[in-house]
Structure 1
Amino acid sequence: MSDLIIKLAMLVVFFGIMIAIGLSCRHHANNVAGFVLGGRSVGPWLTAFAYGTSYFSAVVFVGYAGQFGWKYGIAATWAGIGNAILGSLLAWAVLGRRTRVMTQHLNSATMPQFFEARFASRGMKLAASAIIFVFLIPYTASLYNGLSRLFGMAFHIDYAVCVIVMAVLTGVYVIAGGYMATAINDFVQGIVMIVGICAVIGAVLNSQGGFLAALDGLAKVSDPATSTTPGVFASFFGPDPVGLLGVVLLTSLGTWGLPQMVQKFYAIRSEKAIDKGMIISTLFAFIVAGGCYFLGGFGRLFSTPELVAANGYDSIIPTMLEGLSSFLIAVVVILVLSASMSTLSSLVLASSSTLTLDFIKDTLAKDMKEKQQVLTMRLLIVVFIAISVVLALVQYSSSVTFIAQLMGVSWGALAGAFLAPFLYGLYWKRTTKAACVVCFVFSTVVMLANIFVGSAFPAILQSPINAGAFCMLAGLVIVPVVSLLTRPPETAHVEQVFSCYERTVVVKVKESIGDQT
């Protein structure tokens, strides 16, 4: 009984802090710029943690860490390293400054608005809005999946209750305080994630006699169905380096094209803050993502192929944690809640702002005033959260597999459709609208086909992970090739768009007497 009281007390304190922060940020959310971007005045620490916590959710900690740790052993840590270098460091270095400068210059608050202003195409904005709406909702629902087994193990509380409570509390602070409340809560949740993952790794390895003993035990594990090479699960690249590369690319490079990730660069205070934010975000990813995949790599010491076949990959991490103390289990639950709530808040804010600003405002209610826009976004947050809860509960309580498949495809479809158009749009004046539209259509069609006729794909592309990575890489080729084959964009418009990078700065110069001849 005392163990349960400790767990519940920690949860109550955690939720109380989240709600208090949301209510205290109400004054930042009185207009569209404040509600969606925090007035573009968010500092590097908050932005870096908002980026990192939106990146890593329960899907990573419970789902991906368990699944890829089981498949690749300790080599799964490369996915976390890739997340830190490709998904954080290079994303900030390549996209951060140019995104911040150009989006302010074009007065765009969402990715579809950017596409409209950059390519002078309202149709692109509507197409991007539709893709985001279709694929962010199931991605949002997937966040709840990692909570079911952990809450069942820790509290023996019904999954539906857990999902509804989490959704309601997240909705309250996002609706109340908008982006600023999300960013501050992300910072708090990020601290919990860092402390939690370090504590859990230490406890799990200690239960196996320490790191070297655990690594030695992993080297002795054999699974002929995966590989006949001795010690392969404790090796540098694991049993399937090609498959691991696909995981690294999709989970790392994918962030470059996800609207809820890129939007963090819109809101940062200044160009100078980007350099500091880049370092903070990279270190955060090394600890959290690297720690999650590293932990998952030892999953075969705690489970068996028979148990995994019966209960799925999502059972691996909870099985590893069952022997922890009540206090550490409570820490893990709050860790996963933090990861899920931070990502959930980012997704619903991106979804509601996109639908309001990019579709309703310009199509159904062209004269919508600013207060009405903010109210509409708040109402849509409720709608999006409700839909995601229903999807999560339907999937959990039935044998419907379509939803689960669509969740797996969401990341690949969004990143495949947007990464190349957004990247080339920031850097290359010759990028054409037609090339971006082709990329939109290609990635969306390929990923949807992966759901319905995946068996017809080549073996390496039947996995949604590999298909998504393929779409992202293909887009990087499609956009420049189609751009060179199609009519160049209007010179005057392109020069105006890129003028934000080419401003002339005039300074006073004083000559010294010694310079006179």
Structure 2
Amino acid sequence: MSIVIITTLIYLVVVAFLGFLGYKHTKDSNDYMIGGRKIHPMVMALSYGATFISTSAIVGFGGAAGVFGMGLLWLTFLNIFVGIFVAFALLGKRTRKMGHNLNAHTFPELLAIRFQSKFIQKFAGAIIFLFMPLYAAAVMIGATHFLATAFGIDYNTALFFFAVIVAIYVSMGGMKGVMYSDAFQASIMFIGMIILLGFTYKNLGGVTQAHIRLGEMLNNAEVQKSVGGMVKAGFQGWSAMPKWGSPNWWTLVSTIVMGVGIGVLAQPQLAVRFMTVKSNRELNRAVPIGGIFILMMTGVAFIVGALSNVYFFNDPNIGKIALLASGNPPNPDNIIPLFIKTYLPEWFGSIFLITMLAAGMSTLSSQFHAMGTAIGRDLFYKQNDESNKSVWIAKIGVLFSILVTTFLAYFLPVYLQGEGKLIIASGTALFFGLCAASFLPVYIGALYFRNMPKIAAISGIVSGFVSSIFWMLFVHEAESKKLLLCKLIFGVDTIAQGTIWRLVDPIFIALPISIIVTIGMSLLYKCDIPEEHLKSCYQGIEKEAYDKKLVAEG
């Protein structure tokens, strides 16, 4: 325990120093919001990755892999292909350039200035401020579970101290402090996950032997008894995908894989990072770093989560699959913390504790920064006011966001206790899906479609948001059953009761609706944005696209 305490203190001192460094180099709102647009590409890539990958990915989605198996590796593929290559190549460069052209400091502000709509800025800022705490709570729950398990302390005590630590350093250093700390934390995360993967495979006899043993588990009669209900829901083993169209398939594919894998493109706290570098060259240099980082973070977490079933079941002191070993009642979010504490050397426990702290704090710092700037810049900012007033409002917004998130991190595990719910994975997927439906069609339209009218942008955001909320409240059983509004109005848990629609994630419905509405309104209405403004938006972007076309044509 003394090793854990010493390493934790060293880590916190370094993070505090980096937060102070960010504070010293933060002179105005430009520095606080977007790091002065002079962030090094490696720092930007590591910050992007550390913001993207958190304890929700390692603890929450690793636990989901303990339940569903290796099928979660499809999420790793989407995280890399969509979250890194597509995001940086197709969206990142234009976001960076347009953000510079328009002097945008936040994601909502970028959309608002592009379409000359204060409504968009305030509506998008409100979505971020009101709903991001759910995602942040998922991350905080994951970090707190691991802290409580590692130190053997009460969950609520761990939650309190973790929230205080994050509040101090994120409110102080602004974007520079956040990104300096992110880069440091990402380095720790990378090392920790390499060691974890090596230990996991070594103790199972190597890569091939480990996967053979996992694939054969469903042949065991005791295992078959344990997963009887899951098999009825489409489960086919931890090395296979669930049956096509089964309840398990819809949960895994529509909610976890697609919800997060597509939703990453419209994450405000990630998109704003494209505006922190000074040129496209920095973005190009960041792509391989980000891709390798995401591969190690998610790939290792999902592989270890699935293989934990072999460890737990073959342990004579446990003899259960991972989900049943996670506690009574079962809690998938406990699988990874319990696996680390039970099977890995004590010295590694301290390293992985720091890895989890780094993962949680890096993502939370960016989330709280995004929520704070949504208040300070998007909801209460006065145009052309470059004083530090907006910075102080943002700092107050950060602290308020931390309070709301901490309340949710306390309330959700209590509210869902005994149900074996994937709290972390579900909370993350819900917010990612909401952002995709609300922002993605309009975000792409802002970057690529010059003649898209303001009404199309507003309609797309509102229709995506409203359809997402409606589906959560009245159709998707995972949310509607707990939110109770459907029960109150219609007397049932979901209006889709008895049909497959109750399992379909909101992103499968809301995103297509948003796309159709955005395109439809673009066809019905002419562009109402002045040509001079459009020239300023696309200055440098259209020339670059034209030059690339000439090169391609020889």
- Scaled by the length of structure 1, the TM-score of the pair is 0.88
2:400 corresponds to 1:387:
no
Of residues 332, 335, 349, the one that matches 1:316 is 335
| 1:441 matched residue in structure 2 | 462
CA–CA distance in structure 2, aligned partners of residues 490 and 368 of structure 1: 24
Cα distance change on mapping 1:461 and 1:260 into 2, 3 Å: farther
Partner of 2:550: none
Q: Using the alignment, how far apart are the partners of 1:356 and 1:337 within structure 2?
A: 27
Residue pair 2:63, 2:335 contacting (<8 A) in 1 also: yes
TM-aligned CA deviation for residue 239 of structure 1: 4.5
Which of the residues 506, 515, 522 maps onto 1:467? 506
Query: Is 1:296 the equivalent of 2:305?
Result: yes
| Cα pair 2:215 2:237 within 8 Å, conserved | yes
Residue among 12, 20, 23 paired with 1:15: 12
Measured after TM superposition, the shift of residue 346 of structure 1 is: 0.3
The CA deviation at 1:294 is 1.9
Aligned to 1:508: none
Conserved 8 A contact 1:89-1:278: yes
> Who is 2:53 aligned against?
56
1:220–1:239 Cα change, 3 Å = farther
CA RMSD of aligned residues (A): 2.8
The answer as to whether partners of 1:143 and 1:340 remain within 8 angstroms in 2 is yes
The answer on 1:287 being equivalent to 2:306 is no
Amino acid at match of 2:157: V
CA gap 1:252/1:382 in 2 versus in 1, 3 angstroms: same
Residue 213 of structure 1 deviates from its aligned partner by: 2.3
Aligned residue for 1:44?
41
Using a 3 Å threshold, how does the CA distance of structure 1 residues 412 and 329 change in structure 2: closer, same or farther?
A: same
Structure 2 residue aligned with 1:86? 82
- Give distance in 2, aligned partners of 1:457 and 1:330: 47
2:281 pairs with 1:272: yes
Report the Cα offset of residue 52 of structure 1: 0.5
Query: What do the CA deviations read for 1:82-123 (whole angstroms, capped 9, x no partner)?
Result: 211111111101111100100111111111211221111111
Cα distance, 1:331 vs structure 2: 1.8
> Contact 1:150–1:333 at 8 Å: present in 2 too?
yes
Any idea what SS the aligned residue of 2:380 has? helix
1:483 is the counterpart of 2:526: no
- What per-residue deviation string (whole Å, max 9, x for no partner) do you get for residues 22-74 of structure 1? 11222321200001111000011011011101101111111112114421x22
Gaps of 5+ in 2: 219-226, 313-319, 477-493, 545-554
Compared with structure 1, are the counterparts of its residues 165 and 273 closer, same or farther at alpha carbon in structure 2 (3 Å cutoff)? same
Counterpart of 1:425?
A: 446
CA contact (8 A) 1:219 1:231 kept: no
Deviation at 1:286, TM superposition (A): 1.1
Distance 2:343 2:437 in 1: 41
Taking structure 2 as the reference length, the TM-score comes to 0.83
Specify the alignment match of 1:514 in structure 2.
Answer: none
In the alignment, is the contact (CA less than 8 A) between 2:467 and 2:509 conserved in 1?
no
Distance in 2 of aligned mates of 1:283 and 1:470: 32
**1:75-474 paired onto structure 2 within 5 Å:** 75-222=71-218, 223-227=227-231, 232-235=237-240, 237=241, 239-240=243-244, 243=250, 244-246=252-254, 247-301=256-310, 302=312, 303-304=320-321, 306-307=324-325, 310-321=329-340, 322-362=342-382, 370-398=387-415, 409-453=430-474, 454=476, 455-457=494-496, 462-463=502-503, 466-474=505-513
**Hey, what's the Cα distance between the residues in 2 that align with 1:142 and 1:359?**
25
TM-fit CA distance, 1:425: 0.8
Code of the aligned partner of 1:23: F
Instruction: List per-residue Cα deviations over 1:344-364 (Å, max 9, x = no partner).
Output: 0001111111211111123xx
The CA deviation string for residues 141-200 of structure 1, in whole angstroms up to 9 with x for no partner, is 221111343223221122223222222222222222211111111111111111111111
Q: Match of 1:275, SS?
A: helix
Tell me if the contact between 2:66 and 2:332 (Cα under 8 Å) persists in the aligned partners: no
Q: Which amino acid aligns with 2:238?
A: F
> Would you say the 8 A contact 1:461–1:467 is kept in 2?
no
State the Cα distance separating 1:238 from its structure 2 match.
Answer: 5.3
**Which sits farther off after the overlay, 131-140 or 316-325?**
316-325
Question: What residue identity is the alignment partner of 1:287?
Answer: M
Instruction: Within 5 Å, give how 1:19-30 maps onto structure 2.
Output: 19-30=16-27
SS at structure 2 position matched to 1:353 = helix
Q: Distance in 2 between matches of 1:278 and 1:100?
A: 14
Task: Return the alpha-carbon distance in structure 2 between the equivalents of residues 217 and 39 of structure 1.
Answer: 52
Question: Secondary structure of 2:329's match?
Answer: helix
Distance 1:175 1:147, change over 3 A: closer
Residues 469/87 of structure 1: CA separation in 2 closer, same or farther (3 Å cut): farther
Displacement, 1:335?
Answer: 1.2
Taking a change above 3 Å as real, the CA distance of residues 190 and 149 of structure 1, as seen in their structure-2 partners, is: same
Count of matched residue positions in the alignment of Structure 1 and Structure 2: 496
Unaligned runs of 5+ in 1: 505-517
Shift of 1:380: 2.0
Residues 415, 28 of structure 1: alpha-carbon distance in 2 compared, 3 angstrom cutoff = farther
User: For residues 240 and 333 of structure 1, what CA distance do their matches in structure 2 show?
Assistant: 38
